[in-house]
Amino acid sequence: MKIIFKIWRYDPQKDVKPYYQDYQIEVKEGMTILDCLYYIKENIDATLAFRASCRMGICGSCAMFIDKKPRLACETQALALGREVIEIAPLPNYKNIKDLVPDLTPLFEKHKKVNPYIVPDDEEEFLNPTGEYAQTPRELENYLQFAYCIKCGACLAACPTVGTNQEFPGPQALAQTYRYNTDNRDHGEGERKKIVDNPNGVWRCHMAGACAEACPKGVDPALAIQLLKKSFFIAFRKPQARLIPKSNKKPAQGGIKSPEPTI
Q: Binding residues for ligand SF4, how many (CB under 6 A)?
A: 15
Nearer to ligand SF4, 88 or 162 (CB): 162
Based on the shown chain and the rule CB under 6 A, indicate whether residue 172 belongs to the binding site for ligand FES: no
Rounded to a whole number of angstroms, the minimum distance from the CB of residue 114 to ligand SF4 is 13
Dihedral (CA of 205, 209, 214, 215) sign: positive
Binding to ligand SF4, residues 104-163 (CB under 6 A):
149-155
Q: Output the DSSP codes for 155-190.
A: HHHH-HHHHH-TTS-HHHHHHHHHHHHH-TT---HH
Q: What is the DSSP letter of 259?
A: P
- Check residue 62 for interaction with ligand FES (CB under 6 A): yes
219 binds ligand SF4 (CB under 6 A): yes
54 belongs to the binding site for ligand FES (CB under 6 A): yes
The candidate with the shortest Cα–Cα distance to 190, out of 175, 180, 202, 201, is 180
> Helix axis angle, 137-144 relative to 170-182, nearest 10°?
170
Segment near ligand SF4 (CB under 6 A), from 12-20, 44-52, 89-97, 167-175? 167-175
- Could you say which of 41, 55, 151, 229 contacts ligand FES (CB under 6 A)? 55
Residue 67 near residue 83, CB atoms below 8 Å: yes
Crossing angle for the helix pair 105-113 and 170-182, nearest 10 degrees? Answer: 30
Q: How far apart are CA 30 and CA 23, in angstroms?
A: 19
Across 36-74, b (16+ Cβ under 10 Å) vs e yields bbbbbeeeeeeebbbbbeebebebbbbbbbbbeebbbbb
* Total Cβ atoms within 10 A of residue 28: 12
Please, which residue, 48 or 152, has the CB nearer to ligand SF4?
152
Question: Taking CB under 6 A as the rule, does residue 172 contact ligand SF4?
Answer: yes
Q: Which secondary structure element, helix H or strand E, spans residue 253, and what is its range?
A: none
Q: Do 72 and 155 touch, CB atoms closer than 8 A?
A: no
**Nearest CB to ligand FES, comparing residues 41 and 113:** 41
- The nearest distance, CB 97 to ligand FES, in angstroms, is 17
Candidates 25, 73, 104, 214; binder of ligand SF4 (CB under 6 A) is: 214
Rounded to an integer, what distance in angstroms lies between the CA atom of residue 85 and that of residue 22?
9
Amino acid at 262: T
| Residue 207 contacts which entry, ligand SF4, ligand FES, none (Cβ below 5-8 A, type-dependent) | none
49 is a site residue for ligand FES (CB under 6 A):
no
Is there binding between residue 78 and ligand SF4 (CB under 6 A)?
no
Q: Between residue 1 and residue 20, which ones bind ligand FES under the rule CB under 6 A?
A: none
Out of 175, 196, 210, 228, point to the residue binding ligand SF4 (CB under 6 A): 175
Closer CB to ligand FES, residue 74 or residue 156? 74
Q: Which residues bind ligand SF4 (CB under 6 A)?
A: 149-155, 171-172, 175, 214-215, 217, 219, 221
Q: Which residues bind ligand FES (CB under 6 A)?
A: 52-55, 57-62, 72, 74
